[in-house]
Each structure stands twice: as structure tokens, then as C-alpha cells.
Chain A
């Protein structure tokens, strides 16, 4: 009885924010989705537009490709780092985690800009290469897909490393000891015991990186030099240059569906990993 009477009061605390979010977050997104199929009347022409215009397909394909490369790069760089951090002493572990988290606190603009300083045509690396006479002209690290991938990998690596490290720490050392005492070599123990146990966290982290790359805007705009537009940059052009709101709404819907589907998948894999 007391519980029932308390319900409205506590819902009352939630209500102001709920109304704000419904009116200024959910409603705008719903209207955008509606717009993609109802302008001027019920139609799927804006989606047909996306499929039939090669520009959009190319941008979607490039986004997918960059997202995949970034995901693989993050996994290849992040797995050894997390594995190494697992066996550090507690103090060093804290330091390593702090260094991994540090970039989160630095504006993504700053981190992106730094790559121009390091890898740009007049950057540190090119100066050294030129001074040593290893190359005749500056190497173009930036303003192409390589530059974008370097930038996205740098920004997204912590999203993979942190959950992966947390999952690796939870793996019981005795399992590996048991395998070793049963005669397995160190390599076999890693391959047959440790790696499978860390796989769900690796998969969940990789999907997270994949989702996040899909929505990237700043890195391709700056490190791609406008030559490597991804979905978000295409949306920028559609809205701010061409005022083609319906096409932008349709493209946003595609992006939203892909993101939410991948997010649901990563939650599902993460949950499975936690229970097994």
C-alpha cells in the first residue's frame, strides 16, 4: 500500500526531465524520421534517392571501410596493451589506466590538431625524413584515408582498451595455472584458455569502436582535408550547403538504424560474456 502511494511522488521527480527530453530530443528525432518518409506525402523516394545516387553509396561504402579498418587497428593495438597492463603491478596499473583515460579529457579538436603538427607536410615526421634525406618530398600521411584512420584510431582506442582490460583482470589466474600444470605450453594456454575468455570483451569493444567511427565528423573533416567525406560530413553538406533536408533525414535514419542495431548486438555479446 505504502509502495503504491509513493509511486506518483517519485515519478514526479522524473517528470520534468522526461518532458524536456521527450519534447527536445525524442520529438525532433521522431519528426526527422517522419520527414524522411512523408515529404511531400507518404513516399520512399528519399531512400531510393540514397540508393540510386552513387555519391551516397560511395560515402556509405567509404564510411563502412574506414570503420572496419579502424576497428581492426584498435583491436590489434589495444589487445596487446590491455594484456600487458593486466600483469603490471597495481601502482603501474593505475598509472597506465590514467594514461589511457587522459585523452578522454582533452578536446577531440586538440587531439586531431596534434596530428597535423606531427604528420603534416611541414610536420615533425616529415622534417626528420627530409633532413635525413630518406625522402625527396614530404610524405602525405594526412588528407587521405590513412590520415583519417590514424585520427579515428587514436581517438577510439580507449573505448576498446578500458572494457577489455577490465574483462582481462577478471579472468581467474588459476585457470591458466591449471592448464599449464596439465602440460599445456604457454602459447597453448593463451590460445586455448586466455584468448577465448577475453573474446566477448574484445568483440563488444570492437563493435563499440565500429559504431562510434560510423558517426565521426570532426576527424574526417580535418585530417581528411575534405577529400575523405564520411556519412556525417555528407550530412553537413546536405543540411548546411544544399538544404536537402529530406535526403539528410533519410541518411540520418540509415545511420541511426545501423548504430542502434550494432549497439544492441554489443550489449548482447557483452551480456553473454558476463554470464559465461
Chain B
């Protein structure tokens, strides 16, 4: 009896966790004007109203641009830093790593307020560079975490062999380390990309006239309920599922265990 109750509560809690995703997807294909569930008929009208609205398309372009640029900067600098942190023996590494991971721990709203005041002073408020900087800072922890794990699991002696055989540091990076790290590099990049693409709070504070998809969604949701959101939500879920699939595949090929990241 206890066993049954336990299993029932376990299944119910799992359902509670996954319910939001399960309900939004069928809604997005609904033909109804309101939030009728189950949907009375099938239609793609909400997808049309998303892709046919120039404001949403503009937001999508901004989101993509900011996510691509910020995640690439975070990836380049974060991977280098992770290498230095893992292979280095200098003092203060724990503290430096703390600084890199901090944006994950400090509530986003504090980063948002701090960047708002800072950007207002130096004239980056409501600018594309400002948004890219903010998103880069938020993407750094993911890159440093994923790349640290990957570099730590790569045998240091292989690098030393390459160097002792006469390769320059650059050649060693390019020909030995990078090919071995490639799956993790992509995984880290996708983490940072998704983190940026989903970002609401910092964007809401510092974006000024620029719209991103999550910022627009947030503003629409605060004001009213519009079924167009379900179409965007479903597209975002599809994007997440594709991303998670790629990440799992890449990390497995890179020999990184998912468990070591959580």
C-alpha cells in the first residue's frame, strides 16, 4: 500500500513538472481564438501570425544576432580561461573561478540593476553592444563549467608530447587539443546560445528600444493572453529539444558524462 502511494505521488509530481510543456504544444495548433483546451480543431494560424508579424520577426533577428555574438565571445574567452584554470598552478584559481561562475549564483535582477546603472553612466544603455555584453557575462559560467570538465578529462601528457615534438603552442591547440575538444566546444557554445536566447530579466532592464523574442513575449504576457505565444513557445520547445539532443550526443562523443555537469 505504501509502495503504491509512493509510486502514485511520484508519477503525479512528474506530471506536475512536465504538464506545462505538454499543454502548450497542442494549444499552438488550435484553431480557436481563445485558450480552449483541448483545441477544437487544427490550424497553423498562430504560426502564421508569428511569422507574419514584422515586430516578431525583428525581435527574432535581434535575438539571433545577440545570441550568436555573445555566445561566441563567451566561448572563445571562456575556453581559453578554462584551459588556464585547469592546467595552471598559479594562486587564486579558486577565487577567479568563483568570479566566472558568479553570474549563475547572483540573481539576474541584481546583475540587471547593476548593469543598468553602469551602462547609463557610460552610455551603453539601450544599445546593441550593451545587450551583447550583458548576455556574454551570463553565458560565461556555462562555457567555463563545460570546458573545465572537458579539459580536465583530457590527458595532459598528450599536449606535452606534441610540444616536445616541436609543435608551437598554437599548433598544439589547433591540431591536438581542439580536435579532441570539439564536441564539448559545441556543447558549451549551445549552452551559452540557449542561455542568451532565453534571457528575459537583464534584457528587460537594459534593452531600451531593442526587442528580443523573450522580452516581447514577457511584455505581451504581462498585458494580455495571446495564443500567438503558444506557437512561439512550441518553436522554442522544439529548439530546446534539438539543442538538448545535440548536446547529449556531443558530450557523449566527447567522453563527458552528463552527471558530472549537474
**Taking beta carbons and an 8 Å cutoff, which residues of A are in contact with B?**
3, 6-7, 9-18, 20-22, 24-29, 31-32, 35, 77-78, 80-81, 83-85, 96, 99-103, 105-118, 120, 122-124, 127, 154, 157-158, 162, 166, 186, 212, 214-215, 217-218, 221-222, 226, 231-232, 235-236, 239-240, 245, 248-249, 252, 255-256, 259-260, 263
Contact = CB atoms under 8 A, between A and B. Distances in A.
A122 B9 contact: no
Contacts of A256: 106-107, 110
A25 B137 contact: yes
B163 to A, nearest CB: 11
The residue in A78, A118, A218, A222 that gathers the most chain B C-beta atoms within 10 A of its C-beta is A218
Contacts of B80: 13-14, 16-17
Contacts of B106: 29, 256, 259-260
A121 to B, nearest CB: 10
A76 to B, nearest CB: 10
A123 to B, nearest CB: 6
A266 to B, nearest CB: 10
Interface of B: 2, 6-7, 9-10, 13-14, 16-21, 23-24, 27, 34-37, 77-78, 80-81, 83-85, 87-90, 96, 99-100, 102-103, 105-118, 121, 133, 136-137, 140, 144, 169, 194, 198, 200-201, 204-205, 214, 217-218, 221-222, 225, 229-230, 233, 236-237, 240-241, 243-244, 259, 262
Contact of B113 (A17, A116, A235): A235
A120 B121 CA distance: 42
B10 A239 contact: no
B100 to A, nearest CB: 6
A21 to B, nearest CB: 5
Given A21-B99, A114-B21, A248-B113, A3 B13 contact: no
B106 to A, nearest CB: 7
Contact of A81 (B13, B35, B99, B105): B13
Nearest to B105: A263
A212 B169 CA distance: 42
Contacts of B140: 17, 21
Contacts of B118: 24, 27-28, 31-32
B204 A236 contact: yes
Contacts, number: 252
Provide the main secondary structure of the chain B interface: helix
B17 A31 contact: no
A102 B113 contact: no
B262 A110 contact: no
A184 to B, nearest CB: 16
A214 B107 CA distance: 8
